[in-house]
Structure formats: C-alpha cells, structure tokens
Amino acid sequence: MRPPRQPRPAPPEAAGVPVLNLYCLPYAGSSARMYEPWKTRLPSSVAVIPLELPGRGARWPERAKSELEPLLDDLAGGMEEARRAPYAVFGHSFGGVLAFELVRHLRALGFPPPRRLLVSGCPAPHLATPAETTYDLSDEEFTERLRRLRGTPEELLENEELMELYIPILRADYAILDHYKAPPSEPLDCPVSVFYGRGDEDAGRDVTEQWSAYSGGPAAIEEIAGDHFFLRDAEEELLAKMARHLGAPPPGNP
C-alpha cells in the first residue's frame, strides 16, 4: 500500500519568501500531530510538515511498522517535495534516530542533502540502542519498563484504555530501536543541531554531544531547560533556538 501523501506546503513564490520545509518525526508511540502548533509558532519562512507514521493519527487504521527499512521507504514516499525544495529534518528521542536514518535513506535514493538535521532528546546513534530489549516483554513488564526508561509521558502510561490501544504501536517502535545498529560514524553531508534537556538523565550532554561525529561540519549542541520532554515544557525556548539554527528570525519577530 502506498503511504498517503504528506501535506504539501505552499510553494515559496506563493508566500513571497524562500520557504524551508521542516519534516518532523515524533517520539515513540506518538503522533506527528504534536507538531501541528509549530506551523504558526515558527517563522513563516519555515513550513512545518509533520511526518505521520503508520498506525497513528490520520494513519491509525494502518499497521504500525516494526522494521526500520520498510518504515524509511514509507516515509520517503511522502517526501517527493524534498527533491525540489530546500528542507531540513527534525526528530525527538526515537524520532531523532528515525530522522538520522531517514536523511541517510533519502541520500541513498538520490535526494539532495537537507540544509540541516535537528535532533532533540536523543543520544548519538552508536549510543541509542537500549542495553535491554523492551518490545518483547509482557504488557505489565512493558509498561513498567517504559516508566523506568522515562521515554513515554506518564499521563499515557497511567491511562489503561489508551495503553491498550498504544501498546502495539509502542512495541513496533521499540522493536525498531531495540534492534537498531548504528552505521559507522561517517559524517552526513549536512550539519547537525542537537538539543538536550538540562534535567534529562538518559539523553544529557554526555551522550548527545557525540553527535558531532555524524555532523557534516561543526555540530551545534544546545541545552534546553527541562527533562526529556522539554519540547513540550520549554517549547518557546526550543523553537527560538531551532529558528536560529535554520537561519530564520525567532518566532514572533518580523
């Protein structure tokens, strides 16, 4: 089944300014709809395009993919605009691993390089694979492991009805992460910007600054106030820094 087309931004000439398409990938188990508010909170020169994964959001009826390559093929199928227009890719946590691998996949398919890869709350690829597998635990053990890993919002973990729906999606995402093998640290042909939470115990500066080995040029490492979910709790600070890294004026500025 061909993946549904991702929303297509207005062409740059329609807005009178050069538009950079920013493709955004969510953290494990989440929907890319979480990025919808960014469409009005980032400068108009940045067109935010949430990349929805199978099994969530508008793609809820589809089966979540538990293998990396088929998922990358699926996502790339909705990014034909990136062959013609400048773009960047962003991902948080598990989405950061996907964003990194998606950039590599797009380049292998002949896409031009992105202007920038941006990741947040995500250890460098060679440190991203968990020490213990999670996807194959019982539902009870799975939920408790997610709680200890602090990579899933507590409000979701405490909602039994929602967890019944989301456990298959979370298992699929963790199957990808648990089996992930990072490629050799050959730099991408684009720069990398990395954001980490000051209080994030699992993806702090010590493991995020090692993204520098994958950056085509000096990596930009930025600290953000908050823990692993600073993209929600410190959204204004994150978006202002992202805008600067993308060469756009800060949100709210002309």
The residue whose two tokens read 């200890």 is: 148
Q: How far apart are CA 15 and CA 90, in angstroms?
A: 23
Count of other CB atoms within 10 angstroms of residue 62: 16
Reported as type and span, the H/E element at residue 195 is: strand 192-197
- Does the active-site annotation cover 138? no
From 93, 120, 193, 215, the catalytic residue: 93
Q: Is 89 exposed, middle or buried (0-12, 13-18, 19+ CB in 10 A)?
A: buried
Distance separating alpha carbons of residues 195 and 238, to the nearest angstrom:
8
- Catalytic positions: 93
